[in-house]
Amino acid sequence: MKNNTRQIFSTFAGVLGVACLSLLISCAGHQQSAVDPAGPQSGRIDTLWWSFFWLLGAIFVIVMVLTLMTLGRRHRGFEQEPLEATHKPSEETDSRLRRIIAGATVTTVVILFVLIVASVGTGKANSELQNKKNPLTIQVTGNQWWWQLEYMNSDPTKILVTANEMHIPVGRPVQIRGISNDVIHSFWVPNLNGKRDLIPSHVTTQWMEADHPGVFRGQCAEFCGLQHAHMAIWVIAEPEDKFDAWMRAQLQPAAGPSTPELQRGRQVFMNNACVYCHEIQGTTAAGQNGPDLTHFGSRRGIAANTVPNTAGNLAGWILDPQSLKPGNHMATIALNSTDLQPLVEYLESLK
């Protein structure tokens, strides 16, 4: 029995060791992390998380110690009562145990109650954001497998339509108005706030705010089909003036091609099926099925940020979208290299 107990304690210690090891390993890399908050809401959630972690962790250790102590021969305070004949100890032992259990149960209720209050309180505080003034409203439409973004404005000429990369001003509340064109998706930028599902025939609302500049990654968090794994979004928080400058630039129609190469590129775009799905403001391309490409060159990623936006990646994407993101809805268009090169340059020029 003693050997067994030692074995059990040492394995318990070993398992704790694995847990610590994995915690240590995990310290590197805070991209898309719920425990690296960059806004007041994710900050409150982060605080709540660590409170839960330490409290519940302590409870776990206590319960495990008590459990393992049942294996020790000497129980503190109890003699080993003779059980062989009756299979039950004395009435005092039993009533003492029942009292202890009752006490533990009451303690559990109290602890849970505290946790409920803390949770509801945090939720309430997080929803206070919607009472702040001057929110920025962005409508996010989930599609298989990309994000359409529309910056709402009472002036219809100032509504910005873009895709897969969201810029927001630091310190200003942002209202995300979520809808979906096809199946259920979920908008999630962990550094800023929890997630909100985008459900067809519903409009869901989420609020977030960045309290310092940064580049934050988000990812679709509701299984939406074949390429659910490749539906990421960049949220870039910038100081107010930088953000305004970005908005102004994005509201401009697409830069006209300034060189013959670029002109050639635009012509390739217009002459092919691209125009059935994509819009480029300032040209006749007005397709609505795919991401708006008016300022594609200014974006960091391609195909909902499956790969970084470089000329090489773009060429590969256009030539064979199915190899990068099998099953996605972009058509494969046969282009030879004399067409492909200028097209890529043109698209990259759309800053």
Nearer to another protein, 252 or 332 (CB): 332
Q: How far is the CB of 196 from another protein (least distance, A)?
A: 6
Q: How far is CA 153 from CA 71, 125, 147, 258, 332, in A?
A: 68, 27, 19, 31, 35
Which of 66, 159, 273, 286 touches another protein by CB under 8 A? 66
Nearer to another protein, 205 or 271 (CB): 205
Region binding another protein by CB under 8 A among candidate stretches 76-84, 146-154, 258-266, 343-351? 76-84
Task: Count interface residues toward another protein (CB under 8 A).
Answer: 103
Q: Which of residues 198-227 bind another protein (CB under 8 A)?
A: 199-202, 204-206, 217, 219-227
Q: How far is the CB of 189 from another protein (least distance, A)?
A: 9
Asked if residues 214 and 237 have their Cβ atoms less than 8 Å apart, the reply is yes
First-to-last alpha carbon distance for the chain, in angstroms, is 73
The whole-angstrom separation of Cα 107 and Cα 263 is 74
Which of 188, 234, 269, 296 touches another protein by CB under 8 A? 188
Q: How many C-beta neighbours within 10 Å does residue 86 have? A: 9
Q: Which token pair is 159?
A: 């509504």
Residue 168, Cα to own-chain centre: how many angstroms? Answer: 16
Q: How far is the CB of 12 from another protein (least distance, A)?
A: 8
Nearer to another protein, 153 or 204 (CB): 204
Q: Which of residues 126-165 bind another protein (CB under 8 A)?
A: 126-127, 144
Q: Which token pair is 133?
A: 């003034």
Q: Does 312 bind another protein (CB under 8 A)?
A: no
Kindly write out the interface string for residues 91-130 of this chain, putting x where it contacts another protein by CB under 8 A and - elsewhere. Answer: --xx--xx-xx--xx--xx--x--xx-xxx-xxx-xx---
Residue 102, Cα to own-chain centre: how many angstroms? Answer: 42
Q: b/e map of 276-295 (b: 16 or more CB within 10 Å)?
A: ebbbbbebebebeebbbbbb
Question: What residues are paired with 161 via a beta bridge?
Answer: 150
Nearer to another protein, 291 or 301 (CB): 301
Q: How far is the CB of 187 from another protein (least distance, A)?
A: 9
Q: Does 44 bind another protein (CB under 8 A)?
A: yes
Q: Does 193 bind another protein (CB under 8 A)?
A: yes
Residue 78, Cα to own-chain centre: how many angstroms? Answer: 53
SS3 132: coil
